[in-house]
Amino acid sequence: MTARRIRIGTRGSALALRQTETVAAVLRHAHPGLEVAVEAIRTDADRRPDTPFEALPGIGFFVKELEVALLEEHIDVAVHSMKDLPTVDADGLTVCAVSAREDPRDVLVGRDGATLATLPRGARVGTGSPRRAAFLRAHRPDLEIVPVRGNVETRLRKVDANELDAVCLAGAGLRRLDLAHRITEWIPIEVMLPAPGQGALGIQVRAGDAETAGIAAAVDDAGTRLSVVAERGVLARLLGGCRLPAGAYAEVRAGTVHLRAAVVATAGDRAVRGERTGPTAHAESLGRALGEELLGRGAGDLV
């Protein structure tokens, strides 16, 4: 790479490409004359769209191929959804910037305008997320939760074709794809805590590549980064990834992090919840302390 050209790697879905183009636009604006090339790379999870999360091997199945391409210098930067990144950096790589966050809440796309309150008893709700499934069962144990994967458009088609009464997914993705009009309910944080980092994008570079990190710094949003650090601190202490039925959400106000988190049993019949507040300088340790508290109150037994 030269200072005038940067290669960005991303997953090849419409959502991933749209997210990456927003990053590329920020970089072009911040660095006039910079040539930015976007390269789509298929990940293990992309190659097996019908395989449930719990059947995919290991962790980081949305990011591994991007990280390999980065380490082998086929690309200079990888753009990830922060909720997909493992909490421990891969050897030789680091997240140098975190983008300003979209709305992190989950949403419902229901047929005929259905919401969680108006879905009929026994309604079929699709999601590929163990976290969303657990929170849905906790709130509406009568619902039938149907495992579903695939891109956003694929999931919406299942509602349109009457295969499902609703699907539950991240609102950020729908907004980025200009599909917010399909949302029938923004699910309150009190009902469903988002995945740690949901709605934020992580910019990953090779460790020690100060030049690229300096270019990518234009994307960084300090408030979002601190919130995400606190949320991922919880997840790190719980030793979990996107297959863990846990949610966390942090807000930064006046130099203080306000963090809440929960672990919900898969069946939705039990939950351990907690909150912590502390200075932004201790965002990660705050998250780990809350994770420790949840474990001490029995969260480990739920997973």
- Taking residues 36-42, report their average pLDDT: 92
Residue 156's CATH number: 3.40.190.10
In this structure, the answer to whether residues 138 and 6 fall within a common structural domain is no
Q: Assess contact for 232 and 95: CB atoms under 8 A.
A: no
- CA 66 vs CA 118, 134, 297: distances in Å: 41, 30, 37
209: in domain: yes
Q: Which of 51-60, 79-88, 206-215, 251-260 has the lowest mean pLDDT?
A: 51-60
Distance CA 300, CA 282 (A): 24
Q: Is residue 191 part of a domain?
A: no
Q: Which residue has the tokens 């997909």?
A: 84
| Same domain? 90 vs 80 | yes
Rounded average pLDDT over 98-121: 97
pLDDT score, position 47: 45
Enter the tokens of residue 248.
């966390």
Residue 195 lies in a domain: no
Judged against a pLDDT cut of 60, whether residue 241 lies above it is answered with no
As given in the structure block, the two tokens for residue 45 are 């999870």
Rounded-to-integer distance, Cα 99 and Cα 204, Å: 11
DSSP 220: -
Residues 206 and 228 in one domain: no
pLDDT for 51 beyond 80: no
Provide the pLDDT for residue 243: 62
Band of residue 52 on the pLDDT scale cut at 50, 70, 90: very low
* Residue numbers of the domain that contains 111: 106-186
298 domain residue, yes or no: yes
Q: What confidence category does residue 42 fall into, taking pLDDT thresholds of 50, 70 and 90?
A: confident
Reported confidence tier of residue 53, pLDDT bands at 50, 70, 90: very low
**Shared domain check, 226 and 208:** no
- Quick one: which H or E segment has residue 201? strand 201-206
User: In 3-state terms, what secondary structure has residue 67?
Assistant: helix
Mean pLDDT of 146-164: 94
Q: Is pLDDT of 7 > 70?
A: yes
CA-based torsion, 116, 85, 224, 293: positive or negative: positive
- What average pLDDT does range 245-257 have in this prediction? 96
Average pLDDT (47-57) is 44
Write down the pLDDT at residue 150.
Answer: 85
In terms of domains, do 205 and 248 share one?
A: no
Residue 192 lies in a domain: no
Question: 84 and 214: one domain?
Answer: yes
Residue 274: which CATH number? 3.30.160.40
pTM of the complete model beyond 0.75: yes
Residues serving a catalytic function are: 84
Q: Are residues 85 and 211 in the same domain?
A: yes
Q: Are residues 204 and 75 in the same domain?
A: yes
Q: Does 245 share its domain with 161?
A: no
Residues 22 and 74 occupy one common structural domain: yes
The answer to whether residues 25 and 95 belong to one domain is yes
Between CA 73 and CA 76 the distance in angstroms is 6
Beta pairing, strands 5-10 & 77-81: parallel
